[in-house]
């Protein structure tokens, strides 16, 4: 019982190390958080202002960046109405709130996070399953209002349940999905062929 | 039977429960804090059963999509499945801390009656939240729904009123812990534990507000999920393990505390910035590729360190111990944590491959083994320590009466979870191939992968192993109620006065 | 793009080599510790063999994940980190347990 514990293996040494490592990592995380949040504020280059729902949106391979990238095009107002930035934000907000209140995330993934029972919604607005750009908005709203009757099961028998979504909520969800599809997600999902991008 | 007969039957049941409860509260082998801990453990086990049940229902829906359609839809079952998991883990941790608080501080718990009240408040709140999940399920797209029904954010779906309640209860728990240590001895474990609880409660606040911007939403959401699961929970379990190792294997305090600090340095050093691996695809800048990639590669280091240390310890202590079931679960923890968090985590963590695995059954595979290996096992080990003490510190070594029960339960649970993990791995592998790489993640691609025979068969096997897990869970519950009853032999004595300061 | 994704044909190699990195690192660490505790040099051979396997896995992993530029530092830190870390942890084990009382067989011979 006489041997001394060397300093580098002592309790105090590791106590100090633990404090410094934890503190250092946390300070670094806070600094990175400030930077990241400034870059993902709506209206920046990575996350678009809500008014983007007035524009045409697509998703294409960017040769310079070597990855897929959202592309914002000309005017293409949602449901034929051009909205101000405030109106657009209000609409997207209602959509986001509805997505949360209906617990979409426990079947679907959003930006790849959530559950795996139903398809990812990140680029749902751009999916070729909506057949043509002209009919897309109406198809989406109809589907949300009565998912059982307008079921799109792709041979899986998995049907979305009726979640008592109202007309304004359905339109807002579509606005939210359109806005979400414009987020620069660093090339996720890869190889996704958007509606209207068929060769 | 008439209504009156039912009423009489209920009255008899109630009287019986009250009487059993009175017997338990008079148990001379347990301190006040330990009795409260047993309350927490009991609810934890009930929630564990709920987790298994709703996991089975959700799993069945993959096989039979019309099963319970528009009655208990997948999203409800899945939400209860993962919420029950989170809450039973927390109940286990809180209970474990109450269990050793008096032993560690050397004084009685300060404000125990507030702790007791907090337990009943929390349990009542959990019950209400689950009933609302099951019977109301969802609301209109407004704040009222988020406040009263469901916040709709995976893992932290609890409505806002419950969030506030949870914070209040955690603060009461924190008060019990900090005030008791302040009055008694401040050990190294006490210091780490107290600071970790501050972080745990503080991080929860990051998940308690609504924002429209989903990138910002998920940024903070991961603060709660990742920094709980891959940082503060790990350290909390480290504290519980540290105390248990002193009791179970008779390791000296100074050694245990030094290693606790080493673990904190390694866990927080890799885990805090390891958060970056969740920031690849949610709109956040590209530098997270590098940070997330590098720190994720560091995250297995503590686990490999554990391999060296456990071999060192097995050579030195030769696993002499007084509680065989608990030690078996600690060993299951070592393997499960290493495979689930280490191997399964590293396989799909770098952005180069995560681009294809993100949001597939890969995550489910990793999640099942990692949560079980890292946390469920430790809680179960602690439940066995608690039962031993509650029965009067009786023998729990070899040749236990009905020893087959704990062994069978352990085998079924471990094999079951491992089997589910492998099945989900195959499903995830197929999904990343067909849906992600070939079909480019369209909806048609998603369903092409879901309808593929590999995926369908994997889901059948997941169900088979899920049933095995559930059988093991049921057996475990039964065993915890029965083990050590009627045992007369005292527990083996390990490591003499080794735990003294 | 800062990263070049794994090619479809390399998926299996990527998953498998990643798993094998962690497993062979653990095997190396375990054999190393075992050799120390049993003082049997032939386990060292096993440990070095496991480490050689680890290096091969890191090589495959780095290739299929298209590591170039600073990503190669990750390969290097895996190779160096996993080589020295078990040794460091071992020394830490010995040093922290230096005052181990009677009942351990290690101290039995050394501190009496």
Measured in whole angstroms, how far is the alpha carbon of residue A71 from the centre of its chain?
A: 15
Is the residue at A96 inside a domain? yes
Compute the average pLDDT of residues B308-314.
83
Is the residue at C56 inside a domain? yes
Q: DSSP characters for C29-56?
A: HHHHHHHHHHT-THHHHHHHHHHHHHHH
The answer to whether the CB atoms of B352 and C14 lie below 8 A apart is yes
The answer to whether the CB atoms of C32 and B308 lie below 8 A apart is yes
Using the structure block, give the residue that is written with the tokens 């720190």. Answer: B295
Is the residue at B225 inside a domain? yes
Please tell me the predicted confidence (pLDDT) of residue B495.
54
Render the burial of B105-128: b for 16+ CB within 10 Å, e for the rest: beeebbebeebbebbeebbebbee
Please tell me the predicted confidence (pLDDT) of residue C99.
61
Which DSSP helix (H) or strand (E) runs through A61? Answer: strand A55-62
Question: Same domain for A80 and A132?
Answer: yes
Per the CB < 8 A criterion, the answer to whether B432 and B357 are in contact is yes
| Domain enclosing residue A158, as ranges | 50-180
CB neighbours of residue B346 within 10 Å: 24
Q: Name the B residues in 49-108 with CB < 8 Å from any A CB.
A: 58, 61-62, 65-66, 69-70, 73-76, 78-79
How far is the C-alpha of A194 from the C-alpha of A185, rounded, in Å?
15
Is the residue at C43 inside a domain? yes
On the question of pLDDT at B101 being above 70, the answer is: yes
**Neighboring chains of A (3 or more beta-carbon pairs < 8 A):** B, C
Is the residue at A59 inside a domain? yes
List all residues 6 or more positions away from C9 whose beta carbon is below 8 Å from its beta carbon. Answer: none
Per the CB < 8 A criterion, the answer to whether B219 and B271 are in contact is no
CA atoms within 13 A on the CB side of A172: 22
How far is the C-alpha of A168 from the C-alpha of B73, rounded, in Å?
24
Per the CB < 8 A criterion, the answer to whether B116 and B259 are in contact is no
The answer to whether the CB atoms of C95 and A9 lie below 8 A apart is yes
Q: Name the C residues in 26-85 with CB < 8 Å from any B CB.
A: 26, 29-30, 32-34, 37-38, 65-66, 70-71, 74, 77-78, 81-82, 85
3-class SS string, B201-236: HHHHHCCCCCCCCHHHHHHHHHHHHHHHHHHHHHHH
Is the residue at B232 inside a domain? yes
Measured in whole angstroms, how far is the alpha carbon of residue A177 from the centre of its chain?
A: 8
The answer to whether the CB atoms of C15 and B347 lie below 8 A apart is yes
List all residues 6 or more positions away from B477 whose beta carbon is below 8 Å from its beta carbon. Answer: B45, B48, B49
Question: Same domain for A161 and A71?
Answer: yes
Sign for the CA dihedral angle at A125, A131, A137, A140 comes to negative
The answer to whether the CB atoms of A9 and C5 lie below 8 A apart is no
pLDDT tens readout for residues B352-388: 999 999 999 999 999 999 999 999 999 999 999 999 9
Question: Same domain for A81 and A26?
Answer: no
Tell me how many domains chain A contains.
Answer: 2
pLDDT tens over chain C, length 112 residues: 578 999 999 999 999 999 999 999 999 999 999 998 888 888 999 999 999 999 999 999 999 999 999 999 999 999 999 999 999 999 999 898 876 554 443 333 233 2
Tell me how many domains chain B contains.
Answer: 1
On the question of pLDDT at B320 being above 80, the answer is: no
% residues pLDDT > 70 (chain B): 97
Is the residue at B297 inside a domain? yes
Cβ contacts (< 8 Å) between B304 and chain C: which residues? 22, 25-26, 29, 82, 85-86
Compute the average pLDDT of residues B223-247.
92
How far is the C-alpha of C67 from the C-alpha of B350, rounded, in Å?
11
Per the CB < 8 A criterion, the answer to whether B307 and C30 are in contact is yes
For chain A, give the longest Cα–Cα distance. 85
Question: Same domain for A33 and A123?
Answer: no
CATH number at residue A120: 1.10.760
Measured in whole angstroms, how far is the alpha carbon of residue B27 from the centre of its chain?
A: 28
| Domain enclosing residue C68, as ranges | 10-96
Question: Same domain for A26 and A115?
Answer: no
Please give the structure tokens belonging to residue C87: 């040794």
pLDDT tens readout for residues B119-149: 999 999 999 999 999 999 999 999 999 999 9
Is the residue at B131 inside a domain? no
Please give the structure tokens belonging to residue B173: 């728990």
Using 50, 70 and 90 to split pLDDT, how confident is the model at B246? confident
pLDDT tens readout for residues B428-456: 999 999 999 999 999 999 999 999 999 99
Question: Same domain for A101 and A28?
Answer: no
On the question of pLDDT at B248 being above 80, the answer is: no
The answer to whether the CB atoms of B442 and A22 lie below 8 A apart is no
Is the residue at B500 inside a domain? no
| Domain enclosing residue B250, as ranges | 192-203+221-320
On the question of pLDDT at B498 being above 50, the answer is: no
**What is the length of chain B?**
501
From the list B85, B280, B301, B406, the residue with the least C-alpha distance to A188 is: B280
Is the residue at B295 inside a domain? yes
Please give the structure tokens belonging to residue A149: 């009757």
Is the residue at C67 inside a domain? yes
List all residues 6 or more positions away from C77 whose beta carbon is below 8 Å from its beta carbon. Answer: B294, B297
Which DSSP helix (H) or strand (E) runs through A55? Answer: strand A55-62
Tell me how many domains chain C contains.
Answer: 1
Measured in whole angstroms, how far is the alpha carbon of residue B282 from the centre of its chain?
A: 26
Is the residue at C111 inside a domain? no
Please tell me the predicted confidence (pLDDT) of residue B401.
87
On the question of pLDDT at A36 being above 90, the answer is: yes
pLDDT tens readout for residues A95-109: 999 999 999 999 999
Is the residue at C108 inside a domain? no
Is the residue at C75 inside a domain? yes
Is the residue at C106 inside a domain? no
pLDDT tens readout for residues A131-179: 999 999 999 999 999 999 998 889 999 999 999 999 999 999 999 999 9
Please tell me the predicted confidence (pLDDT) of residue A1.
43
List all residues 6 or more positions away from B306 whose beta carbon is below 8 Å from its beta carbon. Answer: B334, B337, B338
Residue B214 contacts A, CB cutoff 8 Å? yes
Is the residue at B252 inside a domain? yes
Please tell me the predicted confidence (pLDDT) of residue B307.
84
CB neighbours of residue B2 within 10 Å: 7
pLDDT tens readout for residues B387-414: 999 999 999 988 888 999 999 999 999 9
From the list A177, A87, A89, the residue with the least C-alpha distance to A126 is: A177
Quote the minimal CA–CA distance from A6 to chain C in Å: 7
The answer to whether the CB atoms of C1 and A67 lie below 8 A apart is yes
Is the residue at C87 inside a domain? yes
Q: DSSP characters for B116-175?
A: HHHHHHHHHHHHHHHHHHHHT----SSHHHHHHT---STT--S-HHHHHHHHHHHHHHHH
């Amino acid at each position: 019982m006489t041997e001394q514990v060397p300093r580098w293996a002592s309790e105090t040494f590791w106590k100090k190390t633990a404090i410094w490592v934890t503190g250092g990592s946390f300070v670094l995380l806070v600094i990175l958080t400030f930077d990241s949040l400034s870059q993902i504020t709506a209206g920046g280059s990575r996350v678009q202002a809500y008014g983007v729902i007035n524009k045409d949106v697509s998703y294409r391979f960017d040769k310079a960046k070597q990855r897929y990238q959202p592309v914002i095009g000309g005017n293409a107002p949602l449901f034929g109405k051009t909205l101000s930035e405030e109106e657009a934000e209000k609409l997207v907000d209602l959509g986001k709130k509805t997505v949360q209140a209906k617990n979409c995330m426990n079947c679907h993934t959003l930006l790849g996070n959530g559950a795996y029972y139903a398809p990812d919604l990140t680029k749902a607005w751009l999916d070729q399953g909506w057949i043509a750009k002209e009919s897309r908005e109406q198809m989406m709203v109809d589907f949300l209002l009565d998912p059982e009757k307008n079921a799109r099961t792709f041979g899986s028998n998995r049907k979305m349940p009726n979640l008592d979504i109202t007309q304004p909520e359905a339109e807002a969800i579509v606005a939210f999905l359109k806005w979400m599809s414009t987020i620069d997600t660093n090339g996720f999902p890869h190889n996704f062929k958007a509606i209207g991008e068929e060769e | 039977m008439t209504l009156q007969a039912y009423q009489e039957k209920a009255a008899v049941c109630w009287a019986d429960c009250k009487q059993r409860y009175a017997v338990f509260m008079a148990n001379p082998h347990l301190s006040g804090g330990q009795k409260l801990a047993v309350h927490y453990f009991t609810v934890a086990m009930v929630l564990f059963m709920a987790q298994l049940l709703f996991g089975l229902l959700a799993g069945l829906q993959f096989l039979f999509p019309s099963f319970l359609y528009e009655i208990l839809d997948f999203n409800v079952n899945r939400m209860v499945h993962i919420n029950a998991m989170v809450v039973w883990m927390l109940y286990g941790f809180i209970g474990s801390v109450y269990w050793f608080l008096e032993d560690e501080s050397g004084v009685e718990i300060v404000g125990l009656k507030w702790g007791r009240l907090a337990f009943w408040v929390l349990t009542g709140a959990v019950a209400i939240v689950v009933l609302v999940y099951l019977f109301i399920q969802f609301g209109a797209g407004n704040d009222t729904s988020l406040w009263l029904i469901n916040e709709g954010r995976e893992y932290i779906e609890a409505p806002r009123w419950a969030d506030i309640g949870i914070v209040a209860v955690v603060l009461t728990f924190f008060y019990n812990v900090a005030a008791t240590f302040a009055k008694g001895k401040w050990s190294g474990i006490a210091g780490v534990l107290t600071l970790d609880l501050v972080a745990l409660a503080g991080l929860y606040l990051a998940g308690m507000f609504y924002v429209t911007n989903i990138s910002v939403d998920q940024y903070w959401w991961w603060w709660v999920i990742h920094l709980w699961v891959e940082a503060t929970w790990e350290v909390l379990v480290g504290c519980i393990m540290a105390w248990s190792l002193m009791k179970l294997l008779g390791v000296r305090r100074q050694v245990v505390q030094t290693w606790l600090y080493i673990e904190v340095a390694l866990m927080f050093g890799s885990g805090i910035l390891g958060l970056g691996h969740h920031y690849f695809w949610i709109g956040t800048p590209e530098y997270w590729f590098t940070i997330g990639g590098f720190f994720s590669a560091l995250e297995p280091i503590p686990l490999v360190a554990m391999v060296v240390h456990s071999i060192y310890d097995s050579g030195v202590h030769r696993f002499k111990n007084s509680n065989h079931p608990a030690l078996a679960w600690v060993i299951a923890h070592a393997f499960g944590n290493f495979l689930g968090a280490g191997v399964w985590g590293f396989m799909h963590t770098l952005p180069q491959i995560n681009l294809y695995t993100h949001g597939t059954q890969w995550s489910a595979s990793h999640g099942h083994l990692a949560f079980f290996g890292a946390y469920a096992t430790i809680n179960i080990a602690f439940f066995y320590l608690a039962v031993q003490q509650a029965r009067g510190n009786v023998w729990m070594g070899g040749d236990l009466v009905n020893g087959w029960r704990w062994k069978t339960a352990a085998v079924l649970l471990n094999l079951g979870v491992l089997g589910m993990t492998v099945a989900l791995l195959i499903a995830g592998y197929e999904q990343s191939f067909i849906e992600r790489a070939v079909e480019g993640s369209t909806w048609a691609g998603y369903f092409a992968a879901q309808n593929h025979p590999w995926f369908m068969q994997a889901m059948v096997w997941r169900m088979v192993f899920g049933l095995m897990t559930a059988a093991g869970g049921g057996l475990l519950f039964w065993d915890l109620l029965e083990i050590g009853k009627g045992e007369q032999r005292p527990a083996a004595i390990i490591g003499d006065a080794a735990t003294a300061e | 793009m800062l990263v070049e994704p794994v090619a479809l044909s390399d998926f299996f190699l990527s998953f498998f080599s990643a798993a094998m990195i962690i497993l062979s690192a653990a095997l190396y660490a375990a054999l190393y510790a075992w050799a120390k505790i049993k003082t049997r040099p032939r386990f060292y051979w096993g440990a070095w063999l496991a480490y050689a396997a680890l290096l091969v896995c890191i090589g495959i992993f780095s290739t299929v994940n298209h590591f170039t530029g600073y990503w190669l530092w990750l390969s290097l830190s895996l190779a160096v980190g996993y080589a020295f870390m078990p040794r460091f942890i071992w020394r830490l084990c010995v040093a922290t347990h230096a005052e181990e009382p009677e009942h351990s067989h290690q101290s039995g011979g050394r501190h009496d």
